[in-house]
């Protein structure tokens, strides 16, 4: 039985090309269907069509039909589908109406006009189902990202809809928050039989959860719904462990570290790691660009950093790791000269550039090229060569004449990095650069980081993304509650930790698929 | 961020509305700096105890500072332009504005009476802002909407949601300014900064608004279609609100005729709205609707007592209520009027506590001695 059926759905935003092109898709009742595809492939549009937000709230040209539990979105508005399809947006901040979690969860029930007793029971059940009963009296703005997103899911789920539509629900969250959200989604599906239609970029957790996956490219279904392992087989954004399986010829490729370990045990010959992988000696360090000693700072009378030492040399890429609130962003802002430390000393380095977590905070120009050129204009030195160099480095050349606001999150992040880096700073400070990025944007960013370090610059990344750190960092610094927990070469720090990248957990000492591929080529 | 433990609001939002109206009326009836200072103190205490941590609480001192800034501005302007000739404080070089622009004299003699009069009027404004700021910091806007008749519900929700955008915009401005500095490696470039910061702030706000409206739509907002009568009542209610707000501003600005006119229009709209709304039998479902408890009615009664007593004092010829600066003298103080302000402290008899099942339903309030010490001042 199908919960949501798309038949020949085509849709174009006003004045835009087709975002969906003749899509046929059956979402089976009770399954978790994962939608993958690069930014701009039409994932969001597809999800918004499930409850009629497309085309009712967007406008545009719509043809075909979407039927959710027997109701067509042609004849029903989103609000008339609220009791059958729940919708959760990727931005956890922008979906609360009431300033108390419990009352916000009840919002949909009040709108639908349920009797009092039914409302009470539903709210209690939903709070328990998502494990947020202890947060019921809190204001949503005071919750952590993961808690907030679970509260938002509770708000969509209160009306007991048969299907839940989640548009990149964890793209703004740290790993723990993402873990909590997916655990809750899995539980809902298992216990209540809720159908889930889910779009995600980060697939390490989402792919094992799904029953089936479907791939979109340019608004078309390019790989029809099938087992996630099959769809992932040649998808560039697949989890590292899946790409590892692909390289080693495992069929179907594994989706979890656990499954991959089982396959790795059965391997008869293992690729020999080269000597450089076992040595923890970093490549010959360049001269020091930036040094901070004993840095401590308190914000709102709460200590955020305590006695942290950092030394950054030419050619280094340093990954700052640690849970939310560990002080990563604060340390970056201190290194970037945007915040003065209360204690300790930062050797002034005139050529640092800081890219904030939210690229939207700085994009204002009419085109990508103008946005990047603006920085040079502000610095008073017109230099077109640098502009083109950075547009190339970050793979933005084809987008140079687009409006920055019309781009996807990952593309915007790259524009922001280009706009800051073009100033010619030696040290780039990137705060959570891969948030919401698809595989293409991630690869472009990794290339640009490696290039900048090779040219004699240095990069500091504050990130939750250990796979990114494994692929491009030379050094790693782990912060915990404002103190240095571990510091050293990226290989030592990452391989030995509980949150190690997937590949090293299957086939140590290789950190990444690329390293393994290199070793296999040599033999 | 401070620890975000949740607390309940001990008093119903409608009771706070009565408290705020009583406070504003008191400031109007007794605008002498002595009593206004007492009023500001009361508002401050009440905010310290009752306002939940958040942007509205942080807005309270900002509002007071705004009042102070406006007062200083007003003193400077009146000192430079109004001239009585008596009690000259100092003499400045003077210039007469061309007749085309009004022909008044700038500078010249600055008189104590004029300055003090402006000061006293500024005090009344600060008092009004304190009462308004305290109300805004304490009250749950959504609870107010929930207590209003069904017809006002949708407009009310939209208004509260719009209000919530104000603090998020303020936070967004600081993020954008930092991003702007980051772009040039910590150096701040003034040229073109307004554009560089306004565009991202507005676009972020717009994007959030779109996301929020999608979320509201997906959650069935507006599912029960409003009838024509509901809509008419809603618009009348909005008109009443605007007219009364205008009357409030006119009162602060001491424009009595305008205030009376606007107030009358507002009351007229209000009556029409209530008449239209009460014609509708169908009621809106409300989740755990909090009703006014007897204690809330006691708070309303005590709050109303203050302006009543002060008003009676005024009628009976109490001279200390208004400070006349001509001839010059210190503002006088009457203990009776000060005592009349005490009922406005009644809300302090309860403090916010961790919520319980009973308090969530607004049914009862736990006895203070059974609970740990309240954390006054958060």
List the beta bridge partners of residue A321. A478
Better-scored residue on pLDDT, B359 or A82: A82
List chain A residues with CB under 8 Å of B183: 353, 362, 375, 378, 419-420, 423
Question: Above 50 in pLDDT, residue A370?
Answer: yes
Q: Each residue of B275-307: b (16+ CB within 10 Å) or e?
A: ebbeebeeebbbbeebebbebbeebbebbbbbb
The pLDDT of residue B1 is 36
- For tokens 């404002």, the residue is A482
The pLDDT of residue B5 is 53
Task: Give the pLDDT band of residue A475 (cuts 50, 70, 90).
Answer: very high
Q: How close is the nearest chain A Cα to the Cα of B274, in Å? A: 22
Mutate to test the interface with A, among B220, B355, B360 (most CBs of A within 10 A): B220
Q: Each residue of B213-224: b (16+ CB within 10 Å) or e?
A: bbbbbbbbbebb
**Residue B54 to residue A420, Cβ atoms within 8 A:** no
Q: Supply the DSSP symbol for B8.
A: -
Distances (CA, A) of B353 to A293, A372, B47, B260: 44, 52, 15, 41
List the beta bridge partners of residue A10. A63
Question: Above 60 in pLDDT, residue B342?
Answer: yes
Phi, psi of A473, rounded to the nearest 5 degrees: -85, 145
Q: Which residue is closest to A50 within chain B, CA to CA?
A: B218
Question: Above 80 in pLDDT, residue A7?
Answer: yes
**Residue B199 to residue A364, Cβ atoms within 8 A:** yes
Q: Decide: A339 and A358 in contact? Cβ < 8 Å.
A: no
Q: How close is the nearest chain A Cα to the Cα of B196, in Å? A: 6
Q: Which of B178, B215, B355 sits opposite A137 (nearest CB)?
A: B355
What is the arithmetic mean of pLDDT over B215-240?
80
Task: Give the pLDDT band of residue A348 (cuts 50, 70, 90).
Answer: low
Phi, psi of A311, rounded to the nearest 5 degrees: -135, 125
Task: Give the pLDDT band of residue B88 (cuts 50, 70, 90).
Answer: confident
**Residue A356 to residue B287, Cβ atoms within 8 A:** no
Q: Decide: B233 and B152 in contact? Cβ < 8 Å.
A: yes
Q: Which of B2, B200, B214 sits opposite A362 (nearest CB)?
A: B200
How far is it, in rounded angstroms, from Cα B52 to Cα B134?
Answer: 11
What is the arithmetic mean of pLDDT over A101-108?
92
Q: How close is the nearest chain A Cα to the Cα of B93, in Å? A: 43
Question: Above 50 in pLDDT, residue A206?
Answer: yes
The pLDDT of residue A462 is 92
Among B228-237, B277-286, B292-301, the least confident range: B277-286
Task: Give the pLDDT band of residue B358 (cuts 50, 70, 90).
Answer: low
Q: Each residue of A54-65: b (16+ CB within 10 Å) or e?
A: bbbebeeebebe
Single pTM value for the model: 0.82
How far is it, in rounded angstroms, from Cα B149 to Cα B160?
Answer: 15
How far is it, in rounded angstroms, from Cα A519 to Cα A523?
Answer: 7
Count of CB atoms situated within 10 Å of the CB of B265: 17
Question: Above 60 in pLDDT, residue A366?
Answer: yes
Give, for B73, the enclosing helix (H) or strand (E): helix B55-81
**CB-based contacts of B216: which residues, under 8 Å, 6+ apart?**
A97, B161
Alpha carbons within 13 A on the beta-carbon side of B306: 29
Count of CB atoms situated within 10 Å of the CB of A380: 9
**Residue A115 to residue B285, Cβ atoms within 8 A:** yes
How far is it, in rounded angstroms, from Cα A109 to Cα A132?
Answer: 18
List chain A residues with CB under 8 Å of B192: 378
The pLDDT of residue A275 is 62
**Residue A355 to residue B219, Cβ atoms within 8 A:** no
Q: Decide: B326 and B42 in contact? Cβ < 8 Å.
A: no
Q: Which residue is closest to A113 within chain B, CA to CA?
A: B285
Q: Decide: B21 and B362 in contact? Cβ < 8 Å.
A: no
Q: Which of B8, B54, B219 sits opposite A111 (nearest CB)?
A: B219
Coil, helix or strand for B108?
coil
What is the arithmetic mean of pLDDT over A239-250?
90
Question: Above 70 in pLDDT, residue A494?
Answer: yes
List chain B residues with CB under 8 Å of A89: 211, 214-215
- The percentage of chain B sitting over the pLDDT mark of 70, rounded to a whole number, equals 87
**Residue B185 to residue A425, Cβ atoms within 8 A:** yes
What is the arithmetic mean of pLDDT over A12-36?
92
Mutate to test the interface with A, among B4, B219, B283 (most CBs of A within 10 A): B219
pLDDT in tens, B311-323: 999 888 877 888 8
Reply yes or no: is the peptide bond before residue A165 cis, omega within 30 of 0: no
**Residue A110 to residue B214, Cβ atoms within 8 A:** no
Q: Which of A79, A100, A375 sits opposite B220 (nearest CB)?
A: A79
Highest mean pLDDT among A437-451, B36-50, B175-189: B36-50
Question: Above 60 in pLDDT, residue B280?
Answer: no
Q: Which of A56, A141, A360 sits opposite B200 (nearest CB)?
A: A360
**Residue A103 to residue B204, Cβ atoms within 8 A:** no
Q: How close is the nearest chain A Cα to the Cα of B250, in Å? A: 32
List chain B residues with CB under 8 Å of A103: 142, 287-288
Angle between helices A240-247 and A513-522 (to 10 degrees): 20
The pLDDT of residue B361 is 56
Highest mean pLDDT among A394-398, A415-419, B359-363: A415-419
Question: Above 70 in pLDDT, residue B325?
Answer: yes
How far is it, in rounded angstroms, from Cα B300 to Cα B38?
Answer: 20
How far is it, in rounded angstroms, from Cα B326 to Cα B305?
Answer: 31
Backbone Cα Rg of chain B:
24
Q: Decide: A297 and A343 in contact? Cβ < 8 Å.
A: yes
Q: What is the ipTM of this complex?
A: 0.84
How far is it, in rounded angstroms, from Cα A394 to Cα A380?
Answer: 23
Task: Give the pLDDT band of residue B3 (cuts 50, 70, 90).
Answer: very low
**Residue B285 to residue A110, Cβ atoms within 8 A:** yes
How far is it, in rounded angstroms, from Cα A304 to Cα B36?
Answer: 41
**Residue B200 to residue A354, Cβ atoms within 8 A:** no
Question: Above 90 in pLDDT, residue B16?
Answer: yes
Alpha carbons within 13 A on the beta-carbon side of B255: 11
**Residue B200 to residue A363, Cβ atoms within 8 A:** yes
Q: Supply the DSSP symbol for A354.
A: E
Question: Above 50 in pLDDT, residue A245?
Answer: yes
List chain A residues with CB under 8 Å of B140: 99-100
**Residue B179 to residue A356, Cβ atoms within 8 A:** yes
A337 torsion bin: left (phi>0), alpha (psi -120 to 50), beta (else): left
Q: Which of A77, A95, A139 sits opposite B215 (nearest CB)?
A: A95
**Residue A156 to residue B218, Cβ atoms within 8 A:** yes
Mean of pLDDT over chain B: 80
Q: Decide: A69 and A5 in contact? Cβ < 8 Å.
A: no
């Amino acid at each position: 039985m199908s919960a949501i059926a798309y038949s020949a759905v085509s849709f174009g935003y006003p004045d835009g090309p087709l975002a969906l092109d003749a899509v046929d898709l059956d979402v089976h009742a009770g399954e978790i269907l994962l939608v993958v595809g690069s930014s701009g492939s039409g994932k969001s549009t597809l999800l918004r069509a499930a409850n009629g937000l497309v085309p009712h709230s967007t406008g545009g040209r719509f043809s075909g039909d979407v039927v959710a539990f027997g109701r067509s979105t042609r004849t029903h508005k989103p609000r008339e589908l609220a009791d059958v399809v729940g919708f959760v947006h990727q931005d956890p901040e922008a979906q609360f109406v009431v300033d108390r979690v419990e009352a916000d969860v009840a919002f949909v029930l009040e709108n639908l006009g349920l009797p009092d007793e039914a409302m009470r029971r539903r709210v209690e059940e939903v709070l328990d189902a998502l494990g947020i009963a202890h947060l019921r009296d809190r204001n949503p703005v005071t919750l952590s990202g993961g808690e907030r997103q679970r509260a938002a899911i509770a708000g969509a789920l209160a009306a007991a809809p048969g299907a839940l539509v989640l548009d990149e629900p964890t793209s703004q969250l740290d790993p723990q928050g993402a873990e909590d959200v997916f655990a809750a989604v899995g539980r809902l599906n298992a216990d209540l039989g809720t159908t889930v239609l889910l779009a995600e970029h980060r697939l390490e957790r989402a792919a094992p959860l799904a029953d089936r996956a479907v791939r979109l490219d340019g608004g078309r279904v390019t790989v029809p719904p099938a087992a996630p392992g099959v769809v992932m087989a040649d998808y560039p954004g697949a989890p590292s462990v899946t790409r590892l399986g692909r390289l080693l010829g495992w069929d179907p490729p594994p989706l979890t570290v656990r499954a991959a370990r089982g396959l790795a045990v059965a391997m008869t010959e293992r690729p020999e790691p080269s000597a450089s992988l076992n040595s923890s000696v970093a490549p010959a360090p360049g001269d020091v660009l930036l040094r901070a000693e004993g840095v401590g700072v308190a914000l709102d009378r709460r200590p955020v950093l305590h006695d942290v030492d950092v030394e950054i040399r030419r050619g280094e890429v340093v990954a700052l790791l640690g849970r939310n609130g560990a002080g990563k962003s604060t340390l970056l802002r201190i290194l970037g000269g945007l915040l003065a430390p209360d204690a300790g000393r930062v050797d002034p380095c005139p050529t640092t550039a800081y890219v904030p977590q939210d690229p939207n905070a700085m994009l204002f120009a009419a085109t990508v090229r103008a946005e990047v050129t603006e920085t040079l204009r502000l610095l008073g030195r017109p230099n077109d060569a640098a502009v083109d160099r950075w547009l190339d480095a970050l793979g933005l050349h084809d987008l140079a004449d687009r409006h920055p606001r019309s781009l996807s999150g990952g593309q915007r992040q790259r524009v922001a990095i280009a706009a800051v880096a073009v100033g010619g700073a030696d040290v780039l400070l990137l705060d959570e650069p891969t948030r919401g990025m698809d595989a293409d944007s991630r690869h472009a960013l990794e290339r640009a980081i490696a290039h900048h370090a090779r040219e004699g610059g240095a990069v500091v990344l504050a990130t939750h993304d250990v796979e990114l750190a494994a692929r491009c960092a030379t050094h790693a610094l782990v912060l915990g509650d404002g103190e240095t927990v571990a510091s050293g070469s990226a290989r030592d720090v990452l391989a030995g930790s509980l949150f190690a990248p997937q590949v090293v957990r299957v086939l140590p000492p290789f950190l990444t698929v690329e390293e393994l591929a290199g070793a296999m080529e040599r033999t | 961020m401070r620890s975000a433990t949740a607390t309940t609001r001990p008093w119903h939002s409608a009771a706070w509305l009565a408290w705020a109206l009583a406070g504003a009326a008191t400031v109007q009836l007794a605008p002498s700096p002595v009593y206004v200072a007492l009023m500001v103190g009361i508002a401050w205490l009440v905010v310290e105890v009752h306002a939940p941590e958040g942007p509205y609480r942080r807005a309270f001192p900002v509002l007071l500072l705004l009042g102070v800034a406006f007062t200083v501005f007003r003193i400077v302007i009146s000192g430079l332009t109004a001239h009585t000739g008596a009690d000259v404080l100092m003499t400045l070089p003077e210039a007469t504005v061309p007749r085309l622009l009004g022909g008044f004299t700038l500078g010249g003699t600055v008189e104590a009476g004029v300055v003090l009069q402006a000061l006293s009027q500024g005090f009344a404004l600060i008092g009004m802002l304190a009462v308004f700021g305290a109300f805004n910091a304490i009250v749950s806007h959504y609870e107010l909407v929930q207590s209003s008749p069904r017809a006002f519900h949708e407009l009310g929700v939209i208004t509260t949601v719009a209000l919530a955008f104000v603090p998020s915009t303020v936070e967004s401005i600081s993020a954008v300014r930092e991003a702007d500095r980051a772009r040039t490696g910590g150096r701040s470039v003034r040229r073109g900064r307004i554009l560089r910061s306004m565009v991202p702030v507005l676009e972020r706000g717009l994007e959030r608004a779109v996301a929020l409206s999608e979320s509201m739509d997906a959650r069935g907002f507006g599912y029960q279609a409003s009838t024509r009568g509901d809509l008419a009542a809603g618009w009348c209610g909005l008109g009443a609100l605007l007219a009364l707000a205008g009357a409030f501003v006119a009162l602060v600005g001491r424009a009595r005729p305008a205030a009376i006119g606007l107030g009358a229009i507002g009351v007229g709209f209000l009556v029409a709205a209530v008449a239209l709304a009460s014609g509708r039998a169908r009621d809106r479902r409300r989740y755990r609707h909090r009703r006014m408890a007897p204690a809330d009615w006691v708070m309303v009664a005590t709050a109303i007592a203050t302006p009543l007593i002060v008003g009676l004092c005024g009628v009976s010829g109490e001279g200390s209520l208004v400070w006349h600066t001509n001839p010059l003298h210190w503002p006088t103080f009457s203990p009776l009027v000060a005592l009349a302000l005490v009922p406005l402290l009644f809300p302090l008899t309860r403090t916010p506590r961790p919520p319980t099942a009973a308090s969530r339903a607004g049914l009862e309030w736990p006895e203070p001695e059974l609970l740990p010490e309240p954390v006054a001042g958060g």
